[in-house]
Amino acid sequence: MSVPTPIPSGRPLVLTLTSARVEIGARTLLKDTSLLIKQGEKVALVGANGMGKTTLLRSIAGDHTLTAGSVMVPNRTGYLRQETPRLDATDGQTALDYLMESSPLTAMHREMDRLTAAMSATTGAELDMAIEQYGELQDRFAQGGGYELEATAEQIANGVGLDDETLLTPVAALSGGQRRKLDLAGLLLAGGDLFILDEPTNHLDVSAKRWVMNFLGQTEATVLVVSHDLKLMDSSFDRVLALENAQIDSYKGTYSDFVRQRAESAAQRAHQARSLGREASRLTETKKVFSKGNATHAAKRRALQRRIDALTERMKDHAPPVQRRQLRVRFPEPERAGDQVLDVTGLSKAFDAHQVFSGVELNLRRGDMLLLVGVNGAGKTTLLRCLAGRETPDCGSVRIGANVKVGYYAQEHEDILPMVSVLDNLRSSVPDASEGELRGVLGHFGLVGDVAAQRAGTLSGGEKTKLALARLMVARANLLLLDEPTNNLDPQSVEALLAALQHYEGTVVLVSHDAEFVSQLAPERILLLPESQVTYFDEKILEMIPQR
């Protein structure tokens, strides 16, 4: 059982996890773990892709049932899921109206309206009761900030990167990034005693990330977050939970403190293991001295062997953690395409009255790399879908060159079949491959053992990304259309993908909100949206892209 690091006393418990076990199929993601988080703590949960961070958050939030054990959270718990939400909005409902519905104050205001109507239609004792109820409700509404609710909603929405124009846009017309921002804004507006946040800074630009960091630092709520945003975890978090090999270890301090403490702990364990090893070797040599067959020597040998066995067991406790298989991505050399790979003329797309982009002109040759840049909602994903043939433009044309094979990586992993196994998902891309060959490819992406038989819908966000990349790799495409391929990947996996794209010999069109990744990739050209302007890459362009 993993015992959490002692935390300040005197504050009530907000989250209690007791003897918890989490399993998916044949995989054990968490075993016999107990965890206590107190009021006001800011806690970061870290671990490599596939360790079970998202599944643990889902289990705590009630989206996934614990295999064993129990969890207790407050009623006022807000949960931001990793996936882009669909948002259950009414027809024509604007983003601002949807956001206002997130606050319990909106329901309170409707009840006040009902009581107002009741007061005009009743007399006597019923009227007196309605007046009393209205007065109590009005006091609670005012104390809760109800009369400033719309201004507060706009402030939070602007903070996470939704401008006033977007707030007046129907929810149905929002992009994936805008929907996730709206989901985050709604959670923060609703308030709560516990915020459970899975990758809260995905899709956010620099200023929005800074605003969220400031909000989380100031809120009195308890925060439990999973994030690959190292700046976020170094901002206001005072505790780090490291999930590794189905166990949780707790560290005081920020993420940087955790890295330092773990390095020191690893060095100390290695030193202790060497000392124990030397002592075991010395006892083994001593045991050889008592080689005679008499009873005294036999007793000595047994006593020494018991001490050697005890030392060996202690050495196991000080052994370094099992090293995870690193992502090894190499796109195979694709079939040679013609010189002219992609020709786009006058491409435009609108949803109802909302013009997404217009007049896009592109000409890509073999080996080119193009980055699409623009704020959320500028049409980057829609343009990629038009290039991939998944979306029909309103006007203009997309001409694919001779001998060009398109590989499309969808941000929402729409090509992954959730009810089908990981192995069969990959097999759908290469039906003639043997199971051994398929498992070999999955192994390059760290999807090994029982993961191959697991339903794809149960994978973590990082594992789904790796499966989608594996499908892309075996397709041997010579034109890659990539929509946020680094989302949910840990830093080591991002580095592996970067190296693969740097060595790729085909043509690439890329959308990414990872400025460091883009900087190292250094694509030759940029398409700015919604301006539809093509320009050459410049480091200044990184200011328009969120920092990872």
pLDDT tens digits, one per residue of 453-498: 889 988 888 889 999 999 998 888 999 999 999 888 888 888 889 9
- pLDDT band at residue 292, thresholds of 50, 70 and 90? low
On whether the CB atoms of residues 59 and 244 are closer than 8 A, the answer is: no
Question: In angstroms, how far is CA 21 from the centroid of its own chain?
Answer: 22
Greater confidence, 322 or 453? 453
Asked if the model's pLDDT at residue 371 lies above 70, the reply is yes
pLDDT tens digits, one per residue of 192-232: 999 999 999 888 887 888 899 999 999 999 999 998 888 88
Asked if the model's pLDDT at residue 301 lies above 80, the reply is no
Q: Which homologous superfamily is 1-87+190-321 in?
A: P-loop containing nucleotide triphosphate hydrolases (3.40.50.300)
- pLDDT band at residue 548, thresholds of 50, 70 and 90? very low
Q: Which bin fits 297, alpha (ψ -120 to 50), beta or left (φ > 0)?
A: alpha
Cα separation, 42 vs 253, whole angstroms: 10
Greater confidence, 320 or 2? 320
Asked if the model's pLDDT at residue 3 lies above 60, the reply is no
Where are the chain's structural domains? Answer: 1-87+190-321, 89-173, 340-544
Q: Which homologous superfamily is 340-544 in?
A: P-loop containing nucleotide triphosphate hydrolases (3.40.50.300)
Q: Interhelix angle for 206-218 vs 149-159, to 10°?
A: 130
- pLDDT band at residue 320, thresholds of 50, 70 and 90? low
pLDDT number for residue 388: 93
pLDDT number for residue 384: 94
Identity of the residue numbered 106: T
Q: Give me the chain's average pLDDT, please.
A: 86
The DSSP result for 183-246, as a single string, is HHHHHHHH--SEEEEESTTTT--HHHHHHHHHHHHH-SSEEEEE-S-HHHHTTS--EEEEEETT
End-to-end CA distance of the chain: 34
On whether the CB atoms of residues 40 and 220 are closer than 8 A, the answer is: yes
- pLDDT band at residue 8, thresholds of 50, 70 and 90? very low
